[in-house]
Amino acid sequence: MSQILLQKEREETGDVDVTLKVMFCGICHSDLSNINNYWGFSNYPMVPGHEFVGIGTEVGKNVSKFKVWDRVGVGCLVGACHSCDNCSRDLENYCPKPIFTYNGTYYDGSTTYGGYSDIMVANERYVVRIPDSMPLDACAPLLCAGITVYSSMKYYGFCEPGTRLGVVGLGGLGHVAVKFAKAFGMNVTVISTTPNKEKDAIEHLGADTFVVSHNQEQLMAVMGTLDGIIDTISVPHSLLPLLGLLKSDGKLIMLGLPDKPFEVPVFPLIFGRKTVAGSAIGGMKETQEMIDFAAKHNIIADIEVVPMDYVNTAMERLAKGDVRYRFVIDVASTLSKIA
Ligand code: NAP
Ligand code: ZN
């Protein structure tokens, strides 16, 4: 397991920056991939964390959206070029020069450090307001998991009542995907490797159907019925059975980020006019829209709050899929105990 460092010192609050005291930070599967260098672009020392919330403690003199004591959050991005076509369309997430919240390179060439940390300084464009009605701890995962599933659903048209959506992998992203999908009024089928998640998926999360991905009979019952699928599996896997679940013109949207490429079966794509595509987090305007939508529909993550000194154990458990459904670090209360 790679070392997790504590970042105690940040740059000062600039004219357009918000400084926040970090209260809670979610643990995304991407943190696990980054600290272990599964994708091959990790830089150490690394301070992970890209879904965190806290309280504004200082604002720069030109900050217009926030003031001290505001409840705020930061997601996967802290900067972009702000001059490309994507940035001009509020799609900072597809800027060719994005600055990721950690393991990224800031404008001045310095390395960015994330939310497993006591404070954060971020340009106000990359800060979102957390409505008073939302609990800070269970809201934190929405800054990555929430926006990733919400943005993909909006862009690919999976937000109309009655649309039949499949959600593959009931983990951090998957469980909030079910919640957003139900709030959009869709009919949701969960496709999971873990049979004992069925009761929770149906009775607690509100899914309509649960399919165990290695149960041929259950798969056959859903064949050709889905308009779209959101795939959150973090390892290479066969797409053939998933493409079979789609109707003609159906779309399979990849959100999971396996470390290796895998095969796309061409015949079922062509003879069914099906699409395989991807989606990455969301722009900042849409991230605020997602948080406001979540507040309106009472959507929060199901979390297990852990102290900072539990992070390595949490990573080991996350690697085994042993979490219901997101670890969130209680940063503010527990960081000082190990610092
Ligand atoms: P997670 O909590 O670990 O959930 C992944 C789920 O996938 C698991 O709960 C499990 O669900 C299923 N799964 C895991 N291993 C599997 C295997 N070997 N075979 C089949 N299914 C398996 O992870 P997460 O935080 O939701 O992240 C999911 C993926 O999305 C990661 O790769 C992450 O890096 C990526 N991600 C992408 C974006 C983006 O912008 N596109 C943003 C954030 C994260 P079941 O038990 O139900 O099968
Ligand atoms: Zn993430």
What the block records as the tokens of 19 is: 């400084």
Ligand 2 centre to CA of 26 (Å) is 8
Task: Tell me, yes or no, whether 5 lies in a domain.
Answer: no
Question: What CA–CA distance (Å, rounded) separates 148 from 270?
Answer: 28
Tokens for 274? 């099906």
Same domain, 270 and 161: yes
Task: Kindly state if the Cβ of 29 falls inside 6 Å of ligand 1.
Answer: yes
Predicted confidence (pLDDT) per residue in 89-104, tens digit: 999 999 999 999 999 9
Whether residue 313 lies inside any domain: the answer is yes
Indicate the pTM of the whole model.
0.96
Specify whether 241 is located in the same domain as 270: yes
Whose CA is closest to atom 18 on ligand 1? 235
Ligand 1 and 173: CB distance under 6 A: yes
**Which residues of the chain carry a pLDDT beneath 50?**
1-9
Nearest ligand 1 atom to the CA of 326 is 2
Residues 128 and 177 in one domain: no
**What pLDDT, on a 0 to 100 scale, did the predictor assign at position 107?**
82
Flag whether 293 is in a domain: no
User: For residues 25 and 7, what is the distance between their CA atoms, to the nearest angstrom?
Assistant: 14
What CATH number corresponds to the domain at position 263? 3.40.50.720
Q: Does residue 8 lie in a domain region?
A: no
What pLDDT, on a 0 to 100 scale, did the predictor assign at position 6? 39
Q: Examine residue 292 and state whether it is found in any structural domain, yes or no.
A: no
Q: Give nearest CA residue, ligand 1 atom 30.
A: 256
- Shared domain for 74 and 60, answered yes or no, is yes
Q: Counting atoms of ligand 1 from 1, which one is nearest the CA of 194?
A: 46
Q: What is the whole-number distance in angstroms between the Cα of residue 233 and the centre of ligand 1?
A: 4
* pLDDT tens per residue, range 270-297: 999 999 999 999 999 999 999 999 999 9
In order of 80, 109, 321, the CA distances from 318 in angstroms are 30, 32, 5
Q: Are residues 23 and 137 in the same domain?
A: yes
Task: Confirm whether 4 is domain-assigned.
Answer: no
* Residues 209 and 231 placed together within one structural domain of the fold: yes
Q: How many domains does the chain have?
A: 2
Q: Please indicate whether residue 237, judged by its CB atom, sits closer than 6 Å to ligand 1.
A: yes
3-state secondary structure the chain: CCCCCCECCCCCCCCCEEEEEEEEEEECHHHHHHHCCCCCCCCCCCCCCCCEEEEEEEECCCCCCCCCCCEEEECCEEECCCCCHHHHCCCHHHCCCCEECCCCECCCCCECCCCCECEEEEEHHHEEECCCCCCHHHHHHHHCHHHHHHHHHHHCCCCCCCCEEEEECCCHHHHHHHHHHHHCCCEEEEEECCHHHHHHHHHHCCCCEEEECCCHHHHHHHCCCEEEEEECCCCCCCCHHHHHHEEEEEEEEECCCCCCCCCCCHHHHHCCCCEEEECCCCCHHHHHHHHHHHHHCCCCCCEEEECHHHHHHHHHHHHCCCCCCEEEEEHHHHHHHHC
Domain, as residue range, for 44:
17-142+302-338
Residue 231 sits in the same domain as residue 311: no
CA gap 231, 254 in Å, rounded: 5
Distance 337 CA to ligand 1 centre (A): 31
Same domain, 40 and 67: yes
Q: Is 76 in the pocket of ligand 1 (CB under 6 A)?
A: no
290 assigned to some structural domain:
no
- pLDDT at position 65: 97
* Ligand closest to CA 256: 1
pLDDT confidence of residue 12: 85
C-alpha dihedral (285, 123, 327, 117), degrees to nearest 10: 180
CATH number, domain containing residue 72: 3.90.180.10
CB atoms near residue 203 (< 10 Å): 9
Q: Does ligand 1 come within 6 angstroms of the Cβ of 232?
A: yes
Q: What is the pLDDT of residue 335?
A: 85
Residues 159 and 253 in one domain: yes
Best residue among 173, 204, 290 to mutate for probing ligand 1's pocket (most ligand atoms within 8 Å of CB) is 173
- 209 and 238 assigned to the same domain: yes
Ligand 2 centroid, distance to 145 Cα (angstroms): 6
291 falls within a domain: no
* Together in a domain, 215 and 315: no
Query: 180 and 136 in one domain?
Result: no
Q: Is the CB of 147 under 6 A from ligand 1?
A: no
